Structure 1
Amino acid sequence: MIPTVDIQPNTNGLPGLTALEQIVGALLTLGLIAAVAGVALSAIAWAIGSHSANPHIAGKGKTGVLVAGAAAMLIGAANTLVTFFTTAGAAVR
Structure 2
Amino acid sequence: MVDINPNATGLPGIEQLRVIVGAVMTVGLILSVLALIISAIVWGFGANSSNPNLASRGKLGVLASCGAAIVCGASVTLVNFFWNVGQAV
- What's the TM-score bracket when you normalise by the shorter of the two chains? over 0.9
1:58 aligns with 2:55: yes
Larger radius of gyration: 1
Partner-residue secondary structure (3-state), 2:70: helix
Out of 75, 80, 84, the residue aligned to residue 78 of structure 1 is 75
The aligned residue for residue 38 of structure 2 is 41
- CA–CA distance in structure 2, aligned partners of residues 13 and 91 of structure 1: 24
1:2-59 deviations in Å (ceiling 9; x for gaps):
xx43321110111000000000000000000000001000000000001111100100
Query: 1:76: how far off?
Result: 0.8
Which piece of structure 1 moves more, 72-81 or 32-41? 72-81
1:16 aligns with 2:13: yes
Instruction: Work out the percentage of aligned pairs sharing the same amino acid.
Output: 51
Partner-residue secondary structure (3-state), 1:77: helix
The aligned residue for residue 65 of structure 2 is 68
- CA–CA distance in structure 1, aligned partners of residues 73 and 46 of structure 2: 30
TM-score, normalised via structure 2 length: 0.96
Aligned length: 89
Structure 1 stretches of 5 or more lacking a match? none
